[in-house]
Amino acid sequence: MSNQFDRGFRRQGLEENVTLLARSYPPAKWPSGMSFLGRTVAVFRVVGASAQRVLTAVPPYRRIEGSLVAKEAMADGSFFILVDSEIVEVDWLTYEVLDEGESLRIRATRDNRALSIDRLLP
């Protein structure tokens, strides 16, 4: 299974895999040397990767509680906060509004993206 389709498929990113399979390689255009097993593996890779992306946003959600230790903005436009040794991704507005030292209760997805943030009063 070391044909051109498999090599290109492994190099592409997750979202590009779906586009690659759906648009560039409909079943009629798949290389003639690609076996049924190779086609099946390629389809399951795309389905598995898509399911994994969906399952990160499905409950159960993580609960993180503690004080805001640090904030950091990355060059690519993503924003992160550190709450009791847990790094959580937030949007730009939340990043701007929160101050270091605040007590927070965060509900986050499995990949640590904030869904809701509550300030705790002492």
Question: d(Cα 70, Cα 87) in Å, to the nearest integer?
Answer: 9
- The CA–CA distances, whole Å, from 61 to 9, 25, 114 equal 32, 36, 10
Q: Which CATH architecture has domain 62-119?
A: Beta Barrel (2.40)
Domain ranges within the chain, ordered by starting residue: 4-55, 62-119
Mean pLDDT of the chain: 79
Tell me: the pLDDT tens digits for 4-63?
444 444 444 445 555 555 555 555 555 566 677 777 888 888 888 887 777 777 788 899
